[in-house]
Amino acid sequence: MEKLRVLLAEDDKNLGVILKNYLEAKNYVTHLYANGESALHAYQHHQYDLCILDVMMPVMDGFTLAEQIRKSDKKIPILFLTAKSLQDDILQGFKSGGDDYITKPFNMEELLARMTAILRRSRQNLETGPKSNIFRIGKFTFDYNRQQLTINSQEHKLTSKEADLLRMLCENVNQVLDRKAALVKIWNDDSYFNARSMDVYIVKLRKVLKEDPDVELINVHGVGFKLVTRE
């Protein structure tokens, strides 16, 4: 099986080398660059499956680099490394075309888990195509485009926000969906009122999903939510 290729942009030399060595040990071909400009040049001359971009870099920062990459490739997964945890920075990351972010300091297992999740979502999008977006959840069929959840010929119509939220849960099935990431991605803001609104949608989705005893939508205290399927 051909190894996946990672573009890693990190200006901290020690961290960059540690990340490169770790990813290569996990069977990823990894190219390391110390600033956004050299990383962009590499991206333009090589093929990659995933970009891991530090936000704060000299010459060209990670957000600008992501915007440049998105001009030619709308689909390549982008994961931001950031020492900042402010909502404005996270929001800026998604606006720049990022798929996920991880805040320093982090452990390598968490980084690998996030990489695996966004690569899986990317492959799923390629396989289903932009007009499909159909997910299987236990005995349910979820049609994202039609905003419809069906079980045993019974159809449940979803609101746009419910459909967006369920889609993110499906993309992270049996894994924890980070609460703040979902708020920023769907509501563009993790304010108190949006958080309460999301809780209402979670309760409504949970009520419908209870129709299949092998499907459960659980709260992970202080972190987020997990869509669990036992089939």
Residue percentage of the chain with pLDDT more than 70: 90
- pLDDT per residue as tens digits for the range 103-146: 888 899 989 988 988 887 776 655 444 445 788 899 999 988 88
Cα(198)–Cα(193) distance, integer angstroms: 9
Identify the pLDDT of residue 83.
79
- pLDDT per residue as tens digits for the range 35-51: 999 999 999 888 899 99
Q: What is the mean pLDDT of residues 188-212?
A: 89
Residue percentage of the chain with pLDDT more than 90: 46
Identify the pLDDT of residue 129.
47
Identify the pLDDT of residue 190.
79
Bridge-based pairing of strands 215-220 and 176-178 is unpaired
